[in-house]
Amino acid sequence: MLRHTTKSEEYIRKTFVHESEDHKRIAEALQADGKFGINVGPFEGHTLAFFIRLVRARTVVEVGTLYGYSTLWMARALPADGKIISLEKDESHHRRASELLKNVDVADKIDLRCGDAVELLNQITIKPDLIFIDANKPAYPAYLDWALKNISDQGLIIGDNTFLFGHLIGEDRGEGTSPKAMEAMTAFNKRAASESGFVATMIPTWEGMTLITRGA
């Protein structure tokens, strides 16, 4: 799969982003398995890490691990006693992520769990400082529901792909979608925009990244 980025994202990547050897190793594994491009890009990974530092996050919940590329970006930005729980339904993805992250410097901050994210979220009792939603698009409203109830007071909720591959901004990029995904992503952004006690905006990455925090 091809990874699309905007010229702005490319400029920011070249100027501000250092992709580690471990990140390159994970990217190569994704390439080898034809899954490269589903993961966030280096600019987006760096941006997630920046937000973790900005909100002084100690706990993160990620929905959708794939091979752990975004997980590693976030784990590296956490303090030494920080924790990221990352949820993945696909057993082979979960297994590959476990192998690829086993020997990284921040392995002890990473807790990979395998199963359906809606079920696994309901077993999490901490109030995370950052929640990154990046799994099956039709379930985004369900993930947002959990996130709005459980985000910490100073926390930040981030959703990836919130332009739904161009469909929500009237761009046909040749990537298909379903009425269910259209409805779900429309509802996700609409709820983010209107939920009482929260404020939201987006970063106009190629994929679209929605940001939600508490506020009047």
Specify burial of residue 136 (Cβ count, 10 A radius: 0-12, 13-18, 19+).
Answer: middle
22 binds, among ligand DHB, ligand SAH, Mg ion, none (CB under 5 to 8 A by kind): none
93 binds, among Mg ion, ligand SAH, ligand DHB, none (CB under 5 to 8 A by kind): ligand SAH
Q: Which residue is nearest to ligand DHB (CB)?
A: 38
Question: In terms of CB distance, is 52 or 209 closer to ligand DHB?
Answer: 209
Q: Binder to ligand SAH among 27, 84, 135, 192 (CB under 6 A)?
A: 135
Per CB under 5 A, does 161 bind Mg ion?
Answer: yes
Per CB under 6 A, does 136 bind ligand SAH?
Answer: yes
161-169 — which CB contacts under 8 Å span 24+ positions?
161/134, 161/137, 161/185, 161/207, 161/208, 162/188, 162/189, 162/202, 162/207, 162/208, 162/209, 162/210, 163/207, 163/208, 164/137, 164/208, 165/207, 168/208, 169/208
196-199 — which CB contacts under 8 Å span 24+ positions?
198/148
Q: Which of residues 149-178 bind ligand DHB (CB under 6 A)?
A: 160-161
Q: Binder to ligand SAH among 13, 22, 39, 207 (CB under 6 A)?
A: 39
Region of 208 please: left (phi>0), alpha (psi -120 to 50) or beta. Answer: left
Q: Binder to ligand SAH among 9, 22, 88, 207 (CB under 6 A)?
A: 88
Find where tokens 């082979």 sit: 92
Cα–Cα distance, 129 to 158 (Å, whole number): 11
Question: In terms of CB distance, is 136 or 193 closer to ligand SAH?
Answer: 136
Q: Binder to ligand SAH among 116, 171, 175, 183 (CB under 6 A)?
A: 116
Per CB under 6 A, does 64 bind ligand SAH?
Answer: yes
Site string for Mg ion, 128-147 (x = CB under 5 A): ------x-------------
Q: What is the CA radius of gyration of the chain?
A: 16
**Interface with ligand DHB by CB under 6 A: which residues?**
38, 134, 160-161, 207
